[in-house]
Amino acid sequence: MRLQKHVWLKSVATIALTIGTATSLAGTAHAQAVTDQTLSDLRVERVGTCTTLTVEFNIRLQILSYYPSRPGRELYIRVRPLDPSANLAARDALRPPGSLPELRSIEYDGTDPGGPLVSLYFQQDMQFEVEGGPRPDSLVIKLFQPGEDRACSLAQAPAASTVVATPGPGPAVTVAAEPDIPPGRFVVNAISAPGSIGELSREQRAAIDDRVAYDSPVDREGEEWHRLRLGFYETKEEADAAAASLADLFPGAFAIEVSPDEREEAIATRMPIAPPADVSLAGGEAGIPPGLYIVNALSSPAELGDLSPEQQGAISGRVAYDSVVERDGEEWHRLRVGFFETKEQAEAAAAQLEEVFPAAWTLRISPEERAEGIAARMDTGELIVSRTTRPSIVASPEQSAEVDRLILEAEAAIALGNNDRAIQLLTNARRLPEAQNTPRAIELLGLTRERKQQVAQAQAEYEEYLRRYPEGEDAERVRQRLAALSGPVQTAELREAEGGNPAAWTWDVRGSFSQFYYRDQSRTRFVDAAVPEEDPDEDDQVNLNQLLTSADIAIMAGNDRGQFEARASGSYVWNFRSGGRDLKAITALYVGASDARSGIQSRFGRQTRNSGGVFGRFDGTWVGWQADEKVKVNAVAGFPVLTSRQTRILDERRFYGASIDYGERSDAVQATAYFLNQEARGGFVDRRSIGAELRLRKDRFNAFGLLDYDIHHEEVNLALATLAYTAEDGSNLSMTADYRRSPLLTTSNALIGQIGVIDALPFTDLRDLLRFYTEDEIYRIARDRTLVTKSLTTAYSRPITEKLQANFDFTLTETSGSPLIPATDGTQEIPALASTGTEYYFGAQVVGTGFLWDNDIYILSGRYADTQRSHSYTVDFNARVPLTDKVRLTPRLRYGRREDRISQTTYEQFQPSLRVNIYPFRHGEIELEAGMNFASQRIRDLMGVSTFDETGVIFTAGYRLDF
């Protein structure tokens, strides 16, 4: 009898210890190799100096808070997943996009005791703004430089005019600060190209000189593309007409509507597009003849030297200049004389010069060489051009000081490598009234754009400089830079900007590969109160010993009209434990395409969708059609995927559905209505739902609502509402009300708990139940076996000081029970399940930053849970300490205690651990983690107190490579 009790107590203690560790006090002590993915993708968009990073997930979630509130290199976002999933305990990472070099890593950690965290690690200090995304499975991070006040917020519209002081008596003079900006948000996308827009031809610049032109960079599958956009137009019809008028010069031009943010940033960072006065082909300056034909009078591998009196007399009164070119590594000098409108005129002049220049010949040059020739012409004995003087200074002292301040800040930004910030500052300086240092601002702006490989914009800035300031040594320096941008001599026939053919497809491959080894071993010691005289029962065991290999690869192709993507993502677990199973998982396996002109998108294969009645991963097809600016029609069909470890198509269940999305991405209100029908083998209606989603985003307020109603079972399947508000002081209040069937109500839930009488095996096919139940009874059992979970969560966060932030959250939840299902001739009885009653969860957290290092973070968390079964308490302290730019330490100490309400049992756990992250290069990471687990359980009964102690060691080592 004692032996039986000893075995029973040990079994109960072992099970309780396992459950206690895995549930109420889950943490890092028992490492897990989770094979699913929580993070889905990243999208980067740059407009001017505003960088918007959209993080997409495979689950829906709500933002609770983020920190730090001051600039730093690490950003942590606390989120609350809205869908129960095995992903909640996952750690996941995404490849940083190549177009955002400041970002070193982005990770999701579902094991943090304060709740799941999304963390971003940067290579330099950044300021952050975080808000809900356009869909509940995304969030948006706006990035800007420290000290920049809400750079990504809507900029104030520029004033129509500026009043400046003028010397002498009389009223102030009103000087136009900005040209008239047309209303509307439609633009013409004239050019799209990877890297840079490239150099525009004179004809292209002339065609757009009266429009607001700007460069809109965007991340396209890890590569930065630049788009020349022209605006603005109030209707799509006006933009379409403009695109048609530009089609000869910009063959791929098309109309598109942009967001209010992009419009404001475009106005602030627009390009100066004006044909340079000194590139005119019709003369325009006294003594300068029109035309692009010249006579190449002399070529020499050395300096031209002095010309003879006869040669000087022959070219007297003409524009003559030295054109230098490199031939086979040797510098040649060419004396050129011009200009002539036709080849015949040039040949006639060459004939006249043959007597003193025997090798004279003719050619047609580029407009850029013409401008250079005029700027660098020789003195042929007579003044052939009159110069304009620089504009008068009209800026007030305050405005001049502002120009100086902007230039100083821009120079500091350039020194830090932040060219985007410098461009914004210098653009603002250039648009102020003429000041003493305005020339410096324009030249520096051209130089900065040149460093950014924005050739067309740099050229335009240099031309604007020479138009304003044609005299002096500074002008000669700018002419040399302009000439260097123009490149070798070439004909002036119209050509596309480099890389600007939108019909040309580009291909790219990106992905990641990682391997992590997990080991968790422990020693347990059991002392039975019934036989205290016996030696304690000790046992050594390996809980986890496996290697997780994960890979994610995507192949992208496309241009600005169409995109193609093929993606495969999965993992494999080698289990080294005796008797352990290897596991494989397929997270994504699909091909997709989109066409901007028709507005059609499609995706086929294993994919994830969290809208339109589809709640997660499936194998199938999705097609979307953008009917107009606000209406999108979607159709979906396929087979549900219950877990990523499901490597076959679940063809016993199939579904199809349709939905309509209303509202643009930038609209404050967006809505979706849908219908979805799912059938199970045997002619069963598995699920037949109608539903609606509503999203509201306005200023600091974000809300989302979802209602899913099963019209076959006549039950509400899911009702969800989330609200979030951010106050001006940085505090954040969020609420979530959730009513749902758990699991999601389907007729297949009738199989839950069904065990055969003869073979004691679970039923897996609804058709087998028809031998024991009617069809209506199966539908009723499905409803009975589906629990109802109701919860309400409130969270509040508030900055205390610049370095401290407090977070609080409260949740109450209740899960219904299920009735007893009587046994039949072929099925066993399914016991009733009692309701949990109302359960309460409380959490508090204090976050500090910048105490010992510039970018360190310290988090102290406390949690209390009052559940049907137990009371539990948890205290956790962890820190994120950057030792260097490439090494980061994460120490953690955790203590937990659980008191069982049913039995006189207590459970305590202490877990210290240390994680080291090493970043040897931007797209590589090494992670090492070691920790201990000290657990103790006390079971009190009539015989005394039995103890069950555990000492465990965990170790994790791995690497991640992105390409």
Q: How far apart are CA 736 and CA 703, in angstroms?
A: 10
Choosing from 254, 273, 292, the residue where a domain stops is 273
Percent of the chain with pLDDT over 70: 82
Specify the long-range contacts of residues 565-568, CB closer than 8 Å, at least 24 apart.
Answer: 565/221, 565/591, 565/592, 565/593, 566/590, 566/591, 566/592, 567/591, 567/592
Q: Tokens representing 227?
A: 């788009």
Over range 430-458, report the average pLDDT: 82
Co-location of 402 and 358 in the same domain: no
Residue 222 covered by a domain: yes
Q: How far apart are CA 271 and CA 238, in angstroms?
A: 22
Q: Which residue has the tokens 């004389």?
A: 337
303: exposed, middle or buried (Cβ count in 10 Å: 0-12, 13-18, 19+): exposed
pLDDT score at 390: 58
Q: How far apart are CA 511 and CA 555, in angstroms?
A: 9
Which range has the worst mean pLDDT, 500-509, 596-605, 711-720, 759-768?
Answer: 500-509
**pLDDT above 60 (res 322):** yes
Q: How far apart are CA 869 and CA 851, in angstroms?
A: 40
814 or 335, greater pLDDT = 814
pLDDT score at 29: 35
**pLDDT above 90 (res 144):** no
Q: Tokens representing 692?
A: 């609606």
Co-location of 316 and 337 in the same domain: yes
Q: What is the pLDDT of residues 653-663, one digit of tens each?
A: 999 999 999 98
Q: How many CB atoms lie within 10 A of CB 577?
A: 12
630 pLDDT band (50/70/90 cuts)?
Answer: confident
Q: Tokens representing 186?
A: 């439609």
Q: How far apart are CA 573 and CA 34, in angstroms?
A: 9
Which range has the worst mean pLDDT, 392-396, 516-520, 603-607, 789-793?
Answer: 392-396
843 or 379, greater pLDDT = 843
Choosing from 405, 437, 470, the residue where a domain stops is 470
pLDDT score at 873: 93
pLDDT score at 289: 76
- Beta-strand relationship, 50-57 and 39-47: antiparallel
Do 622 and 607 contact (CB within 8 A), yes or no?
yes
pLDDT score at 207: 79
Specify the long-range contacts of residues 824-828, CB closer than 8 Å, at least 24 apart.
Answer: 824/772, 824/773, 825/757, 825/772, 826/756, 826/757, 826/758, 826/771, 826/772, 827/754, 827/755, 827/756, 827/757, 827/763, 827/769, 827/772, 828/754, 828/755, 828/756, 828/757, 828/760
Highest mean pLDDT: which range of 270-274, 382-386, 839-843, 855-859: 839-843
Co-location of 618 and 679 in the same domain: yes
pLDDT score at 12: 41
Residue 430 covered by a domain: yes
Co-location of 269 and 284 in the same domain: no
Which residues touch 783 (CB under 8 Å, ≥6 apart)? 713, 715, 745, 749
Over range 864-891, report the average pLDDT: 91
Do 931 and 914 contact (CB within 8 A), yes or no?
yes
**pLDDT above 50 (res 107):** yes
664 or 775, greater pLDDT = 775
440 pLDDT band (50/70/90 cuts)?
Answer: confident
For 680, the 3-state DSSP assignment is strand
Q: At what angle do helices 260-268 and 419-430 cross, to 10 degrees?
A: 70
**pLDDT above 70 (res 775):** yes
Over range 606-610, report the average pLDDT: 92
Q: Which domain does 317 fall in, by range?
A: 278-375
pLDDT score at 161: 30
Q: How far apart are CA 476 and CA 333, in angstroms?
A: 19
Co-location of 254 and 287 in the same domain: no
Co-location of 168 and 255 in the same domain: yes
**pLDDT above 70 (res 486):** no
Residue 22 covered by a domain: no
Over range 607-612, report the average pLDDT: 92
pLDDT score at 703: 92
322 vs 300, 314, 614, CA distance in Å? 11, 16, 71
Co-location of 194 and 298 in the same domain: no
Specify the long-range contacts of residues 142-149, CB closer than 8 Å, at least 24 apart.
Answer: 142/50, 142/51, 142/52, 142/53, 143/51, 143/52, 143/53, 143/100, 143/102, 144/49, 144/50, 144/51, 145/49, 145/413, 145/418, 145/421, 146/71, 147/71, 148/49, 148/421
**Cis-peptide into 68, omega within 30 deg:** yes
Sort residue 837 into left (φ over 0), alpha (ψ -120 to 50) or beta: left
691 pLDDT band (50/70/90 cuts)?
Answer: very high
595 pLDDT band (50/70/90 cuts)?
Answer: confident
Co-location of 365 and 415 in the same domain: no
pLDDT score at 172: 30
pLDDT score at 494: 31
**pLDDT above 90 (res 254):** no
Identify the bridge partners of residue 3 per DSSP, sorted by sequence position: none
558 or 187, greater pLDDT = 187
Q: Which residue has the tokens 């359960």?
A: 839
Co-location of 439 and 347 in the same domain: no
Residue 784 covered by a domain: no
Vertex 135, ends 608 and 110: CA angle to 5°?
A: 65
Highest mean pLDDT: which range of 20-34, 361-375, 895-909: 895-909
Closest CA to 950 of 7, 11, 17: 17
pLDDT score at 468: 80
pLDDT score at 116: 86
Over range 244-267, report the average pLDDT: 81
Co-location of 267 and 282 in the same domain: no
Over range 521-527, report the average pLDDT: 87
Residue 240 covered by a domain: yes
Which range has the worst mean pLDDT, 165-169, 614-618, 813-817, 854-858?
Answer: 165-169
For 733, the 3-state DSSP assignment is strand
Count up the domains in the chain and report the number. 5
Percent of the chain with pLDDT over 90: 33
**pLDDT above 90 (res 18):** no
Co-location of 182 and 260 in the same domain: yes
Which range has the worst mean pLDDT, 382-396, 585-599, 623-637, 653-667?
Answer: 382-396
Q: How many CB atoms lie within 10 A of CB 612?
A: 23
Choosing from 451, 470, 489, the residue where a domain stops is 470
Do 115 and 809 contact (CB within 8 A), yes or no?
yes
Q: What is the CATH number of the domain that holds 461?
A: 1.25.40
Q: What is the CATH number of the domain that holds 356?
A: 3.30.70.1070
Which range has the worst mean pLDDT, 69-83, 118-132, 383-397, 688-702?
Answer: 383-397
Q: What is the pLDDT of residues 168-211, one digit of tens each?
A: 333 333 233 344 688 888 999 888 877 667 667 777 877 787 78
Q: What is the pLDDT of residues 221-247, one digit of tens each?
A: 556 677 889 989 988 888 888 888 888
Q: Which residue has the tokens 């090492």?
A: 928
The greatest distance separating any two alpha carbons of the chain, rounded to the nearest whole angstrom, comes to 129
pLDDT score at 489: 35
Residue 13 covered by a domain: no
Q: Tokens representing 102?
A: 């400041």
pLDDT score at 885: 82
Do 39 and 105 contact (CB within 8 A), yes or no?
no
Residue 842 covered by a domain: no
712 or 191, greater pLDDT = 712
157 pLDDT band (50/70/90 cuts)?
Answer: very low
Q: How far apart are CA 491 and CA 499, in angstroms?
A: 19
Q: DSSP letter for 830, please.
A: B
Co-location of 264 and 244 in the same domain: yes
Do 820 and 831 contact (CB within 8 A), yes or no?
yes
Closest CA to 868 of 817, 909, 907, 902: 902
Tell me phi and psi for residue 690, to 5 degrees. -120, 150
Over range 508-516, report the average pLDDT: 90
Do 250 and 191 contact (CB within 8 A), yes or no?
yes
**pLDDT above 60 (res 524):** yes
pLDDT score at 386: 34
Q: How many CB atoms lie within 10 A of CB 17?
A: 21
Q: What is the pLDDT of residues 406-434, one digit of tens each?
A: 888 887 777 666 777 788 788 878 777 78
